[in-house]
Amino acid sequence: MQNTSTADTQPLRRFIARMDAIVADTSQPEAATLEQVGQALGDLVAQDNWLDPQFAVPHPEYYRQYLLHADPEDRYSVVSFVWGPGQKTPIHDHCTWGAIGMLRGAEVGQAYAQRAAGMVETGEAERLDPGDVAFVSPAIGDIHVVRNAYDDQVSISIHVYGTDIGKQSRHVFDAATGAMKTFISGYANVEKASA
Ligand code: FE2
């Protein structure tokens, strides 16, 4: 990757080295992995001086996911999630663990559960401000809606997932009926593999 920006590449490289060490320990339970990932991600998003500007570009209509690093063995991936003003996800899941670290701006997440009568909100909406870290996984709650907290500015969070999330088969949910649809998100900066 060409570094044409003034961004400091060290923090991301340090983070990737820490992630490599964390996922190398395959014996530890997910909760321990998430705790360690959360600490490393918290350190990464504590400073906003390292994200290459090409991975911070919003799209006028859709939120963007840029791949920053994919582990060669698909044990984890690191993504910059760029929200244009007012942008919002559908209700979706991940089918793997994920950690979300807020880098710039703010976002609001709302957890959901799938019931016979449709999707229902569970718990309070959670706002993430710069430096904050949150988690998802099938074990602790994997279904949510996330939106930019701002209608007038870009927000960016850094996501880490327990697989190559751009290739992961997962789901969106119809709010009224709970009906599931499978999707694969891909990345804004990576050509999708042809099926
Ligand atoms: Fe999500």
94 CA → ligand 1 middle, Å: 6
Question: pLDDT digits over 93-122, tens only?
Answer: 999 999 999 999 999 999 999 998 899 999
140 pLDDT band, cuts 50/70/90, is: very high
Determine the pLDDT at residue 49.
Answer: 95
Q: Where are the domains of the chain?
A: 10-183
Tell me, what amino acid is at 60? P
91 CA → ligand 1 middle, Å: 8
Fold of 10-183: Jelly Rolls (2.60.120)
135 CA → ligand 1 middle, Å: 9
Please give the full DSSP string across 39-57, using - where no structure is assigned: HHHHHHHT--S-S-GGGS-
190 CA → ligand 1 middle, Å: 19
pLDDT, average across residues 52-80 = 97
Q: Are 88 and 146 in contact (CB under 8 A)?
A: yes
Residues 6+ apart with CB under 8 A from 160: 19, 37, 41, 76, 77, 78, 79, 98, 99, 101
146 CA → ligand 1 middle, Å: 7
